[in-house]
Amino acid sequence: MQIIDGKKIRDEILAKIKREVATLPFTPVFCDVLVGEDPASVQYVQMKARTAEKVGIHFHKAIFPAPISTSDLVKEIKTLNKVPNMCGIIIQLPLPGSIDKKAVLDSVEPDLDVDCLGAVASEKFFNDYNSQTDLGYPAALACLALLDSLRLDLKGKIIVLLGQGDLVGKPTAALLRSRGIPYQPITNETENKEYFLQRADIIISAIGKAKYITGNMIKTGAILIDAGTSEDVSAQLGDRPSIVGDVDLKSVKNVASYVSPVPGGVGPVTVAMLLQNVLKVAKAKTSPLAPLQASLERGSQRRGEVN
């Protein structure tokens, strides 16, 4: 079994982003809105800030106290939308329970919605996605980037997509369809799951069930892209549970041909894809007729919206 090194792939993508950012006539700005002081969220935001700065993208801090109201947070985000050279805004999840998540996500301007979690950007992605110009769900893009790194001929390959969640499963399915790649979705309602898994040449899993996929469930030579994350309380890292994926690495090591590990697989590449979205927005801002803006406007016109 060979490990698909997400950190190596991330570094290659980031190096390309850095080169392209250096050619822009302005410094792009990226913002990750944080509400509260959840330690894991704070750490994740800091990591994205460091990564953005490394590739020449300025990170704009936006930290708000947990007691903030939905209306006040929406006002703050609308102000961030107008920051000069802003090229991407994301909302660090989870938000406090008192906040209307949908209202907050929808307050990000669609052409700055580099996570694709607002209604307009999400609809655009699922209905009219162009990989060259449009924003995509970073985790789903990461799954396919890992698969692409193997440089396989996918013709005739049986691909199984395990899970249909909003952040990974459904967007990954949409990306596969956009490429004309057939796949077999597996959900909780799917009968004979074992049959499909045993036949699969490639399994992309995003169900968040710790070590669910074992060696006896897959065929020899299967490729496993693991986008699931769970806490494993049986394996502590200090005073915190370790993070594991959907794949039991020890169990599949003598069966699978390639596996993306958790951590170190989809996660690092997701951050790179997020910043690639920021770069797309920045490139669009260099021309008023840029494809990204025109594409978003076409989507709004089809819905009868007035900008």
> Which residues sit in the known binding site for NADP(+)?
163-165, 229
d(CA 174, CA 172): 5
Q: 263-299 burial, b if ≥16 CB within 10 A, otherwise e?
A: ebbbbbbbbbbbbbbbbbbbbbbeeeebebbebbeeb
Q: Which two three-digit tokens encode residue 157? A: 């390959």
Extract the annotated binding site: 163-165, 229
Contact in structure between 119 and 113 (CB atoms under 8 Å)? no
d(CA 219, CA 221): 6
Residue with tokens 């020899």: 220
φ and ψ at residue 5, rounded to 5 degrees: -80, 100
Residue with tokens 């989507």: 299
What is the Cβ-side half-sphere exposure of residue 3, based on CA atoms within 13 angstroms?
12
Q: Which two three-digit tokens encode residue 213? A: 């996929």
Q: What is the DSSP string of 30-41?
A: EEEEEES--HHH
